[in-house]
Amino acid sequence: MSVRTNTPPAAGTWRLGDRTVNRLGFGAMRLTGTAPFHGGVPRDRERSIAVLRRAVELGVNHLDTAAFYFSATRSANELINRALAPYPEDLVITTKVWPARDPSGAWWWAAPEQLRGQVEENLRQLGRDHLDVVNLRVPPSRRSGSIAEHFGALAELRDAGLIRHLGVSNVTAAQLAEARTVAPVVCVQNPYGIGAPDQDRALLRQCGELGVAFVPFFAIAGAGHQNGPGIGDGAAVRDIARAHGASVAQVRLAWTLQQGPHVLAIPGTGDPDHLAENVAAGSLRLSDGELARLDALRPAEDPGSN
């Protein structure tokens, strides 16, 4: 079996609210530059647009983005708008609010009453009259606090028709439970990868029991990513990659997708070759023994989350 010739539907589908998406999606952050938050080299604009169009041609119908995904000369939302509008009917665009960046790039965090402005900013940039899914992205300093006031503000915007579905990001199990008392939650977007700590694995399982999509980010970031979970590309990952004629990134993606039918992957890239490689990973199936070997891996220490 080749792992370089298949498409996102090979990974199966999931019902995200009232929309069906292929489980292998696309994250837009890397379209804007090699280090979009830290003054990295901007991507070539036309190549980024071509990557987006190619992703949709290959069957990707779930995009993850944010208004704060921008570099000195590139905006992820603007690139999505330019590449894909008018949007395909089956395309689901997920964005996130609470954090934001001012025009100079400095970060700030919205009060509940400021979330409407963030939602409207995404609407303007994407050229839409509603957002398919909005995740409330919880700041690191609030990981043990209540998110009800902010999530309630988003629920009001959903009731007003600006948002179709709500999700939460960078949350604990307690915060997910709190959010679900306010409004329906269709997805949880948290850091997750090989070597994830036990509490993160438990949350992934809980989402499956609740019928909530689990959308890991930094699943293939690898060793040394400042915000990524998991461990380095050790012997187990490399051995399994060689056995399948695959890359380490493809093994990480395949492992991610095999964590449960409710798990949606959103690998991002600005490189067309990496896009093809990531998409092909949707057809890679790891054996029970390979999964067990990878599941047994643990990080030397808890890397935390962003």
Q: Which H helix or E strand runs over 101? A: strand 99-101
| Superfamily of domain 8-295 in the CATH hierarchy | NADP-dependent oxidoreductase domain (3.20.20.100)
Which residues are identified as catalytic? 69
Please classify residue 197 by burial: count the beta carbons closer than 10 Å to its beta carbon, then call 0-12 exposed, 13-18 middle and 19+ buried. Answer: middle
**Cis peptide, bond prior to residue 86, ω within 30 of zero:** yes
Distance CA 67, CA 110 (A): 13
Phi-psi region at 146: left, alpha or beta (left = phi > 0; alpha = psi -120 to 50): beta
* pLDDT tens per residue across span 186-212: 999 999 999 999 999 999 999 999 999
Name, in order, each residue with C-beta under 8 angstroms of 245's C-beta and a sequence gap of 6 or more.
2, 3
What is residue 132's predicted lDDT score, i.e. its pLDDT?
Answer: 98
Quote the pTM value: 0.92
Q: Which two tokens stand for residue 79?
A: 């690139």
What is residue 219's predicted lDDT score, i.e. its pLDDT?
Answer: 83
Contact yes or no for 258/225 (Cβ under 8 A): no
Q: Checking DSSP bridges between strand 19-22 and strand 99-101, what pairing results, if any? A: unpaired
Q: Collect the ranges in the chain with pLDDT lower than 50.
A: 1-5, 222-230, 300-306
What is residue 125's predicted lDDT score, i.e. its pLDDT?
Answer: 98
Q: Which H helix or E strand runs over 280? A: helix 272-280
The CA-atom distances, in angstroms, between 65 and each of 92, 206, 228, 261 are 11, 25, 18, 22
What is residue 285's predicted lDDT score, i.e. its pLDDT?
Answer: 97
Q: Which residues pair with 64 in a beta bridge?
A: 27, 94
Rounded (5°) CA angle 92-188-23: 45
Q: Which H helix or E strand runs over 34? A: none
Contact yes or no for 282/23 (Cβ under 8 A): yes
What is residue 255's predicted lDDT score, i.e. its pLDDT?
Answer: 97
What is residue 300's predicted lDDT score, i.e. its pLDDT?
Answer: 47
